[in-house]
Structure 1
Amino acid sequence: MTDPSQSESTSAAPAASGPGKGALDTKTSRSPSSFWSFLRNIFSGETETTLRASLEDVIGQHEAGTQDDMSAEERLMLLNILEFGQQRVEDVMVPRADIIAVEDQTSLADLFAMFIEANHSRIPVYRDTLDEPLGMVHIKDLVNWIAKAGDKVKTSKKPGTRSNGRSAENGAKPFTLSGIKLDKTVASAGIMREVIFVPPSMLAVDLLVKMQSTHIHLAI
């Protein structure tokens, strides 16, 4: 299961490590625009195979000291592009034992508590076991549901009266959680969203493109 936005600090391209890769040289004399022009020259008219060869050749020239046109930061960016292009979903997915998910019969109160504890914005939903995933819940959909339920509670009370019997100023109806029932289940609340189902062998870069095109940011 993968969610590139959950550590809503997750980087699409993992940082390279090891001697010569971890340190960044921020003192570069070239402007960002010239670097992207440099990349466009490499990418133009290249097939996937020759593109990779071109990138590796440029990095090799820089390591050998024959390429003065690229800073250490730009070299690291190219290394990350090459490494990410080789990764598959199984390389970046959350291990099964670490998945934080809820059953579809979980109450909204328990779901809310789980969001607070997990500090995630999206939580997968399953039926019975993790082998039967149904979708996911986004925290803002839960908050919207609570807000709408609060509006219904307000309209059911007399205008200008608080829940403790005191009159509200200017006839305003204050929002309160006291009358909202959070015993509804995730399934019955109708707040589930779709997820993308992908094979572990799928290239991570292909999944990223699919997420961008479908606007679905959690895959199973």
Structure 2
Amino acid sequence: MSNDRSPDSPAPADTAPAWADDSGEGRELPQQRGLLGRILDAFSGNEPEPEAVDRQQETSGARGSALGMLNLRRMRVDDVAIPKAEIVAVPVSTSLPELVEIFREHGFSRIPVYRDTLDAPLGQLHLKDLALKFGFGADAPPFALQPMLRPLLYVPPSMQIGVLLQQMQQKRIHMALVIDEYGGVDGLVTIEDLIEQIIGEIEDEHDEIDGGLLIAEKPGQWLIEGRAELEDVEADTGLRLTPDEREEEIDTLGGLIVMLADRVPEAGETVTHASGAVFEIVASDPRRVLRVRLRMPPAPEN
């Protein structure tokens, strides 16, 4: 989920969400001229020609970003949304200790709040609002969740991700629920999910392994980021991990583990490689393996 800091406006406590409301927050907001502004210029057709980009920016990273911007037009919300079954959300009756535990367990900065079922969403709760009002030893009023809720966007699965990105920027609402044809919730998208389709994966600062993508914990055991290149992992461990017939299809350790398990395994699961090496999943999310503990296969007995 996104860890952005943009201030969403608080939602009225008893106001039901409107479908794809284009009214914004009651005022026009100035266009941002940073990265997000340039991304939206690219989507609207105001970006320079690719040849001009090559002349002005010589780094391979700049070219990669230009290619990623194509996703703004060709990818739909349904391509990037987290499925309903994997959404972390809470009922409006949730207590303060329960909320604190949920934020601590999942590490999100915001979560949807609903009445009765997720198909009746009320808004989103931001961790910052909870902390400022009820944390830091404050002399807080009696706990009430609904007055702290901020609005959500509600979008169809067929919407282009560039259109959703524009709406998120204009309305300063950085979480959207995907609504199916019957009005039920089908998935969830954050602004970070959209930007990752353009510039690549965004790692939270607390997700980084101190010292790099791969560190040796003890002989025969490593803690490795899922995005580590397979060739680097093979060079450090001496293992041959990639099947010859799939060598060109798999680039990262996380991708290899998903291929071996035929799904994204959850934290705490183990996956065994044909070499006998064991991958323990330390952290994952619904779409990728984030961190792995690799244990070498036992030495053969003499």
1:88 aligned residue: 76
Q: Secondary structure at the match of 1:197?
A: strand
Task: Give the CA RMSD over aligned residues.
Answer: 3.4
If the length of structure 1 is used for normalisation, what is the TM-score? 0.54
2:284 aligned residue: none
Deviations 1:144-201 (A, max 9, x none): 221498336xxxxxxxxxxxxxxxxxxxxxxxxxxx86xx4523xx211111111111
Aligned length: 140
Which structure: greater strand fraction?
A: 2
Once residues 131 and 56 of structure 2 are traced to their aligned partners in structure 1, the CA distance between those partners, rounded to angstroms, is 53
Deviations 1:48-103 (A, max 9, x none): 4x979x54xx49xx8xxxx8974432221211111233111111111112100001
Equivalent position to 2:159, from 191, 202, 206: 202
Deviations 1:99-129 (A, max 9, x none): 0000111111101110111100001001111
Q: Is the 8 A contact 1:106 1:185 kept in 2?
A: no
What are the ranges of 5 or more consecutive residues in structure 1 without an aligned counterpart? 9-38, 153-179
Once residues 105 and 166 of structure 2 are traced to their aligned partners in structure 1, the CA distance between those partners, rounded to angstroms, is 30
2:169 aligned residue: 212
Larger relative contact order, structure 1 or 2 (CA cutoff 8 Å, min sep 6):
1
Percent of pairs with identical residues: 36
Which structure: greater helix fraction?
A: 1
Once residues 71 and 124 of structure 2 are traced to their aligned partners in structure 1, the CA distance between those partners, rounded to angstroms, is 30
Distance 1:73 1:149, change over 3 A: closer
Once residues 144 and 81 of structure 2 are traced to their aligned partners in structure 1, the CA distance between those partners, rounded to angstroms, is 28
Distance 1:70 1:100, change over 3 A: same
1:127 aligned residue: 115
What are the ranges of 5 or more consecutive residues in structure 2 without an aligned counterpart? 5-37, 178-302
If the length of structure 2 is used for normalisation, what is the TM-score? 0.40
The reply on whether 1:107 has 2:66 as its aligned counterpart is no
- Return the letter of the residue paired with 2:156: P
Once residues 68 and 209 of structure 1 are traced to their aligned partners in structure 2, the CA distance between those partners, rounded to angstroms, is 26
Once residues 136 and 94 of structure 1 are traced to their aligned partners in structure 2, the CA distance between those partners, rounded to angstroms, is 16
1:208 CA displacement: 1.0
